C-alpha cells in the first residue's frame, strides 16, 4: 500500500517501463501505523529506461515488506513493448519475472503454551511473473495489472498439518488519471484513482480451503496540482469495500503529499496519512519518503513533460 503510488508505478505495473521517454529511478520508504508494534513497513526501488527508438522499455523492480516477524523480499526484471496507436497515444504491454523470498522468524514470538504452527521458522523462495496493459497519451492514462500471477503456499506442502495456512494470493490492480490545465501550463490539475483487488475471478479457483478470502477491495482517490512543472501538492482518500463482514465500507485514511522536481532532475517527495478508522486511537498515522532521479531532464529530445 502506497500513498504516492504514482511515483513507484513500476512496482505494480510492468507496462510502465520506458513510458517516460528517459531513464529514471526511484526509492520509496513507507512506515505504516506509526507507534504500533509490528506494523508494516515497505521499501521499493524501481529503475526503467526506453530502448530501441522508445518502443521497448526495460526495468528493475525490487521490494521489501515487513509485518511483525514476517518479511517479503523480491527482485523482478521488467520488459514492456509500446505500440503507437496515434501520434500521441500508445498501448504498452508489460511483463515481469523474478523471485520473491518469504521469511517468518517465529522464534522471535512469545507464544503461550505450545502451538505447532510457531515451532519452526519458515523460509521459501517463490518464482513468479506478472502481466499488465497500459494506455497513455500526453493528458491521460489507464491500466490493468496482475504483478504476481502465480499463487504460492507459504509453507512447503509436506510441512502443512492443518486445514488453514498462509498463502500468497494473486492481486489485481486497475487505475486511471488525467491532467487538465488550470492556468495554461503553469498550473495543472490531475485527478487519479487506484483500485486493488484480491480474488477477482472466483470461478477459476479450485481450492476449497481458500474459498473465503477476507481481503477488502481497496480504493485510493487522489487530487493533485502541479505548479510551474516543479511542485506537486496533493490530497487523497483511501477506503475499502466488502470488508470482512460482507457489504461494510471501511474508510481508512485522508492523505496529503508533496513532490518537488529540482532543475537537475532530482525528485524529492513526502506523504502523510491521517488515520480515520478505529486505529486512530492507537496511531497518529503513516508516512512515506521518496527520492528519484530523471536522467536527461529538460533535454531538447524530450518533446513534452510527463505527468504520470
Region 62-86: mean pLDDT is: 95
Q: For 250-303, what is each residue's pLDDT tens digit?
A: 888 999 999 999 988 899 999 999 999 888 889 999 999 999 998 865 555 444
Q: Write down the pLDDT at residue 255.
A: 96
Higher pLDDT, 45 or 210: 45
Residues 6+ apart with CB under 8 A from 277: 250, 251, 252, 253
Residues 6+ apart with CB under 8 A from 242: 216, 217, 248
Q: How far apart are the first and last CA of the chain?
A: 18
Q: For 133-168, what is each residue's pLDDT tens digit?
A: 999 999 999 999 999 999 888 766 555 566 656 778
Q: Sign of the CA dihedral 149, 154, 156, 160? A: negative
pLDDT tier, 106 (very low <50, low <70, confident <90, very high otherwise): confident
Q: For 166-209, what is each residue's pLDDT tens digit?
A: 778 889 999 999 999 999 889 999 999 999 998 776 545 545 55
Please count the CA atoms within 13 angstroms of the CA of 159 that sit on its side-chain side.
15
> What is the SS3 string spanning 79-146?
EEEEEECCCCCEEEEEEEEEEEEEEECHHHCCCCCCCHHHCCCEEEEEEEEEEEEEEECCCEEEEEEE
H-helix or E-strand containing 266?
strand 266-275
Q: Write down the pLDDT at residue 247.
A: 57
Q: Write down the pLDDT at residue 54.
A: 75
Q: Write down the pLDDT at residue 301.
A: 47
pTM, to two decimals: 0.89
Q: For 37-58, what is each residue's pLDDT tens digit?
A: 889 999 999 999 999 777 999 9
d(CA 233, CA 265): 18
In CATH, 5-294 is 2.40.160.40: yes
d(CA 151, CA 6): 26
* No. of helices (H) and no. of strands (E), the chain: 0, 17
- How far does Cα 27 stand from its chain's mean position? 13
pLDDT of 98 higher than 60: yes
d(CA 75, CA 63): 7
d(CA 76, CA 63): 9
Q: Write down the pLDDT at residue 156.
A: 64
For the chain, what are the domain ranges? 5-294
Q: Write down the pLDDT at residue 208.
A: 56
d(CA 64, CA 297): 29
Q: Write down the pLDDT at residue 201.
A: 63
Q: Write down the pLDDT at residue 95.
A: 97
> What is the SS3 string spanning 157-220?
HHHCCCCCCCEECCEEEEEEEECEEEECCCEEEEEEEEEEEECCCHHHCCCHHHCCCCCCEEEE
Residue 62 pairs in a beta bridge with 45, 75
pLDDT of 220 higher than 90: yes
Of the given ranges (71-80, 85-94, 128-137, 292-301), which has the lowest mean pLDDT? 292-301
Q: For 6-30, what is each residue's pLDDT tens digit?
A: 889 999 999 999 998 889 999 999 9
Phi, psi at 116, each rounded to 5°: -60, -25
Amino acid at each position: 500500500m502506497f500513498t504516492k503510488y504514482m511515483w513507484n508505478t513500476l512496482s505494480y505495473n510492468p507496462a510502465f517501463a520506458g513510458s517516460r521517454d528517459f531513464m529514471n529511478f526511484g526509492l520509496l520508504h513507507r512506515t505504516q501505523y506509526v507507534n504500533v508494534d509490528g506494523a508494516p513497513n515497505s521499501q521499493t526501488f524501481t529503475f526503467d529506461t526506453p530502448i530501441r527508438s522508445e518502443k521497448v522499455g526495460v526495468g528493475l523492480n525490487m521490494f521489501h515488506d515487513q509485518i511483525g516477524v514476517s518479511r517479503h523480499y523480491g527482485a523482478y526484471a521488467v520488459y514492456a513493448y509500446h505500440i503507437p496507436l496515434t501520434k500521441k497515444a500508445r498501448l504498452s504491454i508489460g511483463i515481469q519475472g523474478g523471485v520473491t523470498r518469504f521469511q517468518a522468524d517465529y522464534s522471535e514470538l512469545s507464544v503461550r503454551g505450545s502451538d505447532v504452527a510457531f515451532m519452526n521458522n519458515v523460509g521459501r523462495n517463490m518464482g513468479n511473473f506478472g502481466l499488465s496493459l497500459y494506455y497513455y497519451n500526453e493528458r491521460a492514462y489507464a491500466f490493468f495489472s496482475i504483478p504476481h500471477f502465480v499463487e504460492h503456499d507459504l509453507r512447503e506442502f509436506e510441512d502443512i498439518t492443518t486445514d488453514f495456512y498462509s498463502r500468497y494470493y494473486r492481486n489485481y490492480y486497475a487505475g486511471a488519471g488525467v491532467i487538465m490545465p488550470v492556468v495554461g501550463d503553469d498550473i495543472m490539475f490531475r485527478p487519479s484513482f487506484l483500485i486493488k483487488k484480491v480474488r477477482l475471478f472466483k470461478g477459476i479457483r479450485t481450492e476449497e480451503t481458500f474459498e473465503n478470502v477476507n481481503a477488502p477491495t481497496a480504493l485510493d482517490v487522489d487530487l493533485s496540482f502541479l505548479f510551474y512543472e516543479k511542485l506537486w501538492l496533493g490530497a487523497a482518500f483511501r477506503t475499502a469495500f466488502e470488508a470482512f463482514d460482507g457489504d461494510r465500507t471501511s474508510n481508512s485514511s485522508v492523505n496529503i503529499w508533496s513532490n518537488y522536481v529540482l532543475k537537475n532532475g532530482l525528485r524529492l517527495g513526502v506523504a502523510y496519512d491521517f488515520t480515520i478508522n478505529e486505529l486512530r486511537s492507537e496511531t497518529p498515522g503513516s508516512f512515506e519518503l521518496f527520492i528519484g532521479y530523471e536522467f536527461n531532464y529538460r533535454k531538447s529530445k524530450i518533446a513534452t513533460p510527463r505527468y504520470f
